Amino acid sequence: MVTEIKEMTLHEIEKTATDSWALVADPVYSDKDGKLKSGQLLYFHKDKEKVHQFVMKVDTGFLQHYTIMFTGEIPKDQIFVL
């Protein structure tokens, strides 16, 4: 789902994109703990692949700084490979 582009706090992002993968442009991180504080929620979807497909379609000049985050609770038995 594409959203209206506006600055949102982390809480607002998590509330809007509940249990989804979220594409956040111009992320702002805390100097204290390095965690995401705010950004512009551009797109979110339950399927992570759909978010990556959206990134590939968007003009790369527009998306110079972005992050993709999961807004739900990560299962304890989940394994991630970076």
pTM value?
A: 0.83
57 domain-assigned? yes
3-class secondary structure, 71: coil
Q: Is residue 47 part of a domain?
A: yes
The pLDDT, as a whole number, for residue 58 is 79
Between CA 81 and CA 49 the distance in angstroms is 15
Predicted confidence (pLDDT) per residue in 22-60, tens digit: 999 999 999 999 999 999 999 999 999 999 999 988 766
**Does some domain include residue 80?**
no
Residues 73 and 42: their CA atoms lie apart, in Å, by 21
Q: What is the domain range of residue 20?
A: 7-70
Domain count, the chain: 1
DSSP state of 61: T
Q: Within a domain: residue 53?
A: yes
Stronger pLDDT, 4 or 22, i.e. the higher one? 22
79 falls within a domain: no
